[in-house]
Amino acid sequence: MKFYVTTPIYYVNDRPHIGHVYTTTIADIVARYHRLCGDDVFFLTGTDEHAAKVVESAAQRGLTPQQWADQNAQAFQETFKKLGIANDDFIRTSEDRHKTKVQQYVGELLQSGDVYLGEYEGWYDAGQEEYLPENKAKEYEFKSPFNGKPLVRKAEKNYFFRLSRYAEPLLQRIADQPDFIQPNERRNEVVNRIREGLNDVPISRTGAGDWGIKVPGDDAHTIYVWIDALINYLSTVDTPERSKYWPADVHLLAKDILWFHAVIWPAMLLALKRPLPAHVYAHGFWISEGQKMSKSLGNFIDLERIDRYVADYGLDALRYYLASNGPLAANDSDFAEAKFIEVYNTDLANELGNLVNRALSMLNRYRQGVVPQTTTADLRAEAEKTFTVYRTSMDKLDLTGALAEVRLFVIRANRYVEENAPWKLAKAPEQAARLDAVLYNLLEAVRLISVALLPVMPTIAGQMRTQLGVGEFTGKLPEELAWGRLPAGTKIGTVAPLFPKKV
Ligand code: ME8
């Protein structure tokens, strides 16, 4: 099966921060999971470059917009590479392969009458480059909900997209497929807003100079950055080799940009007569030490801090924390350093690291490091339940739920050690077969946990496998999550702590 997952394409004007790293890491985990299941995966991320802010910032630095975009796009690419993100492509909207497709699709929409030339007057949020509907402008007291600056009354001749045509088809789609927009809270918000009515939306602006994509046949108009940006998901795979990936299986993003992804983009696709993505998933926001992250507070968890966590605790610990404690559901999550350290010490060092270390050390001590035969499968039923829940959770993007389930199994396996006290069994020769069984069951639990953790902590899971002597993972995840695949006679590798304890 094919599986196509996307992240938002990030504004090149900003430096990468924990928010960008989060969505991209979640997408990476989902992509790795599907690859391990044997799917033909395409994972796309990239940068959104045609915003007016890019022209301003470039000018302030004496650079061309392209030079400034090049620098910053590179920063995003390097960051993602450093953080182990295995994306299949990185789309930049200033690339020709994207620009030609945008013109092609907008041309199709002009032909079909879904895009037309009209006049628009409304309340404009210059920072966000978007018009707010009259009722929203009023609700926010004619100030930007994002930066508090006054909205501007603006009139212009524009090309419009006939969004008003698509309220019913969109509502129908959401009714037919309730998990199209996730989580549920977000779907309800979108449905309520569509029911308030949809106006046509301007999709071009004038006076933008050369930075941006022109409306085909009318060089005075530049295609509005949001329309240009949304198209990346399709333009990148609209080639003979990649067309098999469309429609996307999931667009991942945060709640701030859900409207564009759940309403405007699907309506554009309906107008283009292209299939709609299967899911639009809008997670919540990270806040920082209890406060909203903002430029004015200067409290972004930025790259310097991220680098420090990676240096001190390892990249996989950061990935685990993001996935297990992040705002995947409707609520926001607090990124607090103390919490991060607590999760490292508890879930990783005390629970997982300890389990692996004691299981392998006891095998060395009592069986010269060779996996024995077993006569009972004490943990089998629990393993089967754990990994069934794990898989259904991963399949529906509930990474937090999947990891919570794995953690319970780690705790269970540690308790199994206490219950069976192998150190006592080792003293009684008539208990030799029982000790064999206990050791086997423990090591098989460790193997299963390593398989489940591969998408989230690829390096740690790899180390677990090396220490266990089972080598690099080459199988398929669903099969490898079945009980009893650890061969008796396996000679384990060198045992070393996975998570050095921190204070
Ligand atoms: O909106 N917590 O780009 P952007 C979690 N270019 N995620 C966060 C976050 C936070 N505090 N802050 C940002 C744009 N994000 C457009 C998108 S797509 C066709 C065009 C993440 O650079 C989250 O994924 O502002 C959010 O949706 C995205 O960054 C916004 O990135």
Q: Which atom of ligand 1 is nearest to the CA of 10?
A: 22
pLDDT of residue 503: 67
Q: Enter the tokens of residue 380.
A: 């089998």
pLDDT of residue 375: 87
CB burial of 220-238 (b: ≥16 within 10 Å; e: otherwise) equals: ebbbbbbbbbbbbbbbbbb
pLDDT tens across 141-189, in order? Answer: 999 998 899 999 988 889 999 999 999 999 999 999 999 999 999 999 9
Q: Which atom of ligand 1 is nearest to the CA of 11?
A: 22
* DSSP E strand boundaries for 269-387: 279-283, 286-288, 333-335
Pocket test for ligand 1, best of 6, 13, 14, 20 (most atoms within 8 A of CB): 20
Nearest CA to ligand 1 atom 24: 253
Pocket-forming residues, ligand 1, beta carbon under 6 Å: 8-11, 14, 19-20, 22-23, 48, 229-230, 253-254, 256-257, 285-286, 293
User: Chunked in runs of 10, what are the mean pLDDT values of the chain (503 residues)?
Assistant: 98 94 98 98 98 94 97 98 98 98 98 94 87 90 92 91 98 97 96 96 89 96 97 98 98 98 98 98 96 90 96 98 97 96 97 98 98 95 98 98 98 98 98 98 98 98 98 96 97 96 74
Fold type of domain 337-480: Isoleucyl-tRNA Synthetase; Domain 1 (1.10.730)
Instruction: Show Cβ contacts of residue 17 under 8 Å, excluding neighbours closer than 6 positions.
Output: 293, 300, 301, 302, 303
Q: Which atom of ligand 1 is nearest to the CA of 47?
A: 6
Domain locations in the chain?
A: 337-480
Instruction: Show Cβ contacts of residue 172 under 8 Å, excluding neighbours closer than 6 positions.
Output: none
Q: How high does pLDDT run on average in the chain?
A: 96
Q: Enter the tokens of residue 251.
A: 């667009």
